[in-house]
């Protein structure tokens, strides 16, 4: 199966939380495949399962069932030692709360150098030099000597990106890194993520509840009720007048069992309910209202039914 070759692969991923005898199904059979070197955004309403997914992918949480693999590591049934190594070496993480990403008593440069020293990757001058380079990549080289409380929210998050990639992880996860920032500042953080993605080749998955980010990345996947529901792809095309234009295409996600989710707007527009009729046409599939009795004022779906 080619989709099993992705750098990040989830298939039928399930996470059930049990609290006080009540079960919450946070992920209900989620499928996702991300290529090596991709920069992917995940959007979805609050409670749709985005953080649950990222916590699993970053090795902080364990799925209840399904397949989850990142950079060849199987996230189900990892030993404690493998999990620790995975979290230290394979993945980097940026949290929404700026205070959770940086140590308050260290300068920006010291914050970036710290994980290298702890992992034994680089020490002293070498660590400081590399930290300086990473700060330059994310666009805050001039902030190297400042402590977090002397940085703006956006600068703190860009510094957090540099910290997260200090040890050259294969994958970087960011959970709503711009959640506390205004739009312009959020744009700067996304620009830093794009630069890191392009320059270091690290695969990046960034979660946000802000649908406007679709304009910041090539591919955006939407999660609804713990499943991937749709995705938007952007690509550049040279128009007839020679000007580059951006083409945006929206797709519904078809899972391995053939399930797909209709956009709420489509369902509402035709008042679809309970069951629909499907017709296979030579080059498309038709979805029609499945009412047995045509409702008055209904669409052409009733008129064409004999």
Query: What residues line the site for ligand ADP (CB under 6 A)?
Result: 17, 19, 24, 26, 44, 46-52
Nearer to ligand ADP, 14 or 78 (CB): 14
In this complex, which beta carbon is closest to Mg ion, that of residue 51 or of residue 203? 51
Which of the choices Mg ion, ligand ADP, none does residue 17 contact, using the CB cut-off of 5 to 8 A by kind? ligand ADP
**Three-state secondary-structure class, residue 54:** helix
Alpha carbons within 13 A on the beta-carbon side of 166 = 34
Q: d(Cα 60, Cα 67) in Å, to the nearest integer?
A: 16
Specify the stretch interacting with Mg ion by CB under 5 A; choose among 49-57, 115-123, 223-231, 271-279: 49-57
CB nearer to ligand ADP: give 44 or 92.
Answer: 44
Least distance between ligand ADP and beta carbon 59 (Å): 16
Distances (CA, A) of 164 to 12, 102, 124, 228: 28, 10, 19, 26
> Torsions phi, psi of 173, nearest 5?
-110, 135
Q: Report what 24 binds from Mg ion, ligand ADP, none; CB cut-off 5-8 Å by kind.
A: ligand ADP
In terms of CB distance, is 9 or 56 closer to ligand ADP? 56
* Binder of Mg ion out of 51, 90, 157, 203 (CB under 5 A): 51
56 or 181: CB nearest ligand ADP: 56
Q: Binding residues for Mg ion, how many (CB under 5 A)?
A: 2
Closest to 71 measured CA to CA, from 141, 146, 9, 161: 9
Q: Find the shortest distance in angstroms from Cβ 163 to ligand ADP.
A: 22
Identify the DSSP state of 295.
P
Q: How far is the CB of 131 from ligand ADP (least distance, A)?
A: 31
Write down the residue that tokens 């779906």 correspond to: 301
Tell me the CB-side half-sphere exposure of residue 258, using CA atoms within 13 A: 2
Closer residue to ligand ADP, CB minimum distance, 87 or 209: 209
Look-up: residue for tokens 């794009």?
Answer: 194
Q: How many CB atoms neighbour CB 190 within 10 A?
A: 21
Q: Which does 49 bind (CB under 5 to 8 A by kind): Mg ion, ligand ADP, none?
A: ligand ADP
By CB under 5 A, the residues from 56 to 95 that bind Mg ion are none
Please measure the distance between the N-terminal and C-terminal CA atoms of the chain and give it in whole angstroms. 43
Smallest separation, CB 46 to ligand ADP (Å): 4
CB of 180 to Mg ion, least distance (A): 13
Q: Which does 48 bind (CB under 5 to 8 A by kind): ligand ADP, Mg ion, none?
A: ligand ADP
Cβ-based nearer residue to ligand ADP, 95 or 128: 95
Helix intervals (H) in 120-240: 124-137, 153-164, 183-200
- Closest separation in Å from C-beta 212 to ligand ADP: 17
Residue 273 CB, nearest distance to ligand ADP (Å)?
25
- What are the backbone dihedrals phi and psi of residue 188, each rounded to the nearest 5 degrees, phi first? -65, -40
Instruction: Give the nearest distance from C-beta 237 to ligand ADP in angstroms.
Output: 33
Instruction: Of 163, 25, 16, give the one whose Cα is nearest residue 95.
Output: 163
Q: Which residues of 136-175 are buried (b: 16+ CB within 10 A; e: fewer)?
A: ebbbbeebbebbbeebeebbbbbbbbbbbbbbebbbbbbb
Closer to Mg ion by Cβ: residue 51 or 90:
51
Binding site for Mg ion (CB under 5 A): 50-51
């Amino acid at each position: 199966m080619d989709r099993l070759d992705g750098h990040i692969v989830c298939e039928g991923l399930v996470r059930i939380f049990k609290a006080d005898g009540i079960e919450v199904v946070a992920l209900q059979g989620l499928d996702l495949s991300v290529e090596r070197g991709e920069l992917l955004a995940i959007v979805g309403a609050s409670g749709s399962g985005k953080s649950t997914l990222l916590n699993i992918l970053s090795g902080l949480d364990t799925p209840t069932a399904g397949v989850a693999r990142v950079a060849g590591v199987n996230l189900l049934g990892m030993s404690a030692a493998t999990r620790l190594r995975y979290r230290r070496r394979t993945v980097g993480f940026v949290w929404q709360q700026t205070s959770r990403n940086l140590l308050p008593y260290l300068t920006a440069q010291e914050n970036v150098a710290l994980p290298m020293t702890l992992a034994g990757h680089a020490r002293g001058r070498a660590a400081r030099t590399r930290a300086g380079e990473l700060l330059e990549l994310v666009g805050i080289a001039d902030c190297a000597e400042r402590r977090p409380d002397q940085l703006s929210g956006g600068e703190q998050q860009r510094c957090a990106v540099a910290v997260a990639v200090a040890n050259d992880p294969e994958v970087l996860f960011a959970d709503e890194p711009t959640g506390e920032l205004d739009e312009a500042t959020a744009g700067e953080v996304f620009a830093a993520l794009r630069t890191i993605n392009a320059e270091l080749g690290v695969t990046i998955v960034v979660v946000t509840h802000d649908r406007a980010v679709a304009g910041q990345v090539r591919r955006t996947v939407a999660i609804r009720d713990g499943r991937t529901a749709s995705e938007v792809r952007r690509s550049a095309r040279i128009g007839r007048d020679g000007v580059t234009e951006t083409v945006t295409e929206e797709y519904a996600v078809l899972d391995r069992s053939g399930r797909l989710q209709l956009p709420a707007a489509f369902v509402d527009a035709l008042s679809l309910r309970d069951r629909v009729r499907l017709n296979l046409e030579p080059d498309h599939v038709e979805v029609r209202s499945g009412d047995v009795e045509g409702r008055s004022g209904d669409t052409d779906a009733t008129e064409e039914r004999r």
